[in-house]
């Protein structure tokens, strides 16, 4: 099966600082890939490069077999096919929940109002927040805001969803509601790349886990059972055991 996204020897430097070094792997349609590793290992940078918020310094990122375009207009078209969810939600605080979800379809897809409305209603229902449509984002809990952010990204009907530490800024009691929305999305067959520190989620939902280490190096990858129960690399074992201590 052809990969939806393919990373070929991706490098990213900030001056002399190396954020990503020769990273290669691919993501197939319908696959859920979790990126794990210590902070500063380049996982988030890789996501930001994937939808063009940062430019890669070397190698190539392919979407459906074609390298990411270099032009602004081309990159815009690509971004419309990738949804992104941020650590800090980044809902638009000046617009209602409903308007947040409709904004993409209305301004980017130029969808007519009734259709955008119907789509937003369906998505808010899907993330369990139909009753919050009229609220302003500030009135919502962190978990609710993140679920709105997921609905907002889904409103563009993306082929791939990118999650950048979606639960890191949440209170412990609201993490579960976000993860269960993500799990449902995975069960429906959405292609997902998830940067996360939630190892239970990675173990239960991921089809594949990719482990990064400091310096932006891909350490190893494999199905969750292999990574968590029988990692090939000693350093993976180290990383996971330290997590257990802290958690």
Partner 1 sequence: MNFEWSIIWRSREALLEGTLTTVLLSVVTMTIAIAGGMLLALMRLSRWRALSASSAAFVEFFRNLPLILVVYWAFYVLPELTGWQLDAFSTGLVALSLNVSAYNAETFRAGIMSIRKGQGEAALTLGMSEVQAMWHVVLPQAVRRVVPVLASTWISLFKDTSLVSVIGVSELAHVSLEIRAQSFRVLEMLTAMAAIYWALGYPQAKLVDWINRRYGHTE
Q: Does 240 contact partner 1 by CB under 8 A?
A: no
CB-CB contact of 124 with 101 (8 Å): yes
Paired strand residues for 66: 63
Q: Does 79 contact partner 1 by CB under 8 A?
A: yes
| Token representation of residue 178 | 């976000």
At its nearest, how many Å lie between partner 1 and the CB of residue 73? 8
From candidates 55, 107, 173, 243, binder to partner 1 by CB under 8 A: 107
CB-CB contact of 154 with 97 (8 Å): no
Cα–Cα distance for residue pair 37/72, rounded to 1 Å: 31
Q: Does 63 contact partner 1 by CB under 8 A?
A: no
Rounded to 5°, the CA angle 139-152-96 comes to 35
Q: Does 44 contact partner 1 by CB under 8 A?
A: no
Q: Which is nearer to partner 1, 104 or 143 (CB)?
A: 104
At its nearest, how many Å lie between partner 1 and the CB of residue 86? 6
Task: Count other Cβ atoms within 10 Å, centred on residue 53.
Answer: 13
Q: Residues in the site for partner 1, rule: CB under 8 A?
A: 51-53, 72, 76-77, 79-80, 82-84, 86, 88, 90-94, 103-104, 107-108, 138, 152-153, 156
């Amino acid at each position: 099966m052809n990969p939806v996204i393919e990373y070929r020897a991706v490098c990213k430097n900030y001056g002399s600082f190396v954020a990503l070094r020769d990273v290669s792997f691919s993501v197939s349609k319908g696959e859920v890939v979790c990126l794990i590793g210590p902070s500063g290992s380049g996982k988030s940078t890789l996501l930001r490069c994937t939808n063009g918020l940062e430019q890669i310094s070397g190698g190539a990122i392919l979407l459906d077999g074609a390298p990411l375009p270099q032009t602004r207009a081309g990159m815009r078209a690509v971004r419309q096919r990738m949804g992104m969810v941020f650590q800090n939600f980044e809902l638009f605080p000046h617009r209602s929940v409903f308007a947040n979800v409709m904004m993409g379809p209305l301004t980017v897809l130029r969808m007519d109002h009734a259709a955008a409305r119907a789509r937003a209603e369906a998505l808010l229902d899907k993330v369990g927040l139909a009753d919050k449509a009229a609220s302003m984002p500030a009135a919502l809990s962190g978990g609710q805001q993140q679920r709105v952010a997921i609905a907002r990204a889904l409103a563009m009907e993306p082929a791939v969803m990118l999650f950048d530490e979606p639960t890191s800024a949440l209170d412990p009691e609201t993490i579960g509601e976000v993860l269960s929305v993500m799990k449902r999305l995975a069960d429906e067959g959405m292609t997902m790349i998830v940067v996360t520190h939630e190892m239970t989620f990675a173990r239960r939902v991921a089809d594949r886990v990719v482990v990064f280490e400091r310096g932006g190096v891909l350490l190893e990858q494999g199905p969750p059972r292999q990574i968590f129960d029988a990692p090939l690399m000693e350093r993976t074992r180290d990383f996971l055991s330290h997590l257990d201590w802290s958690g």
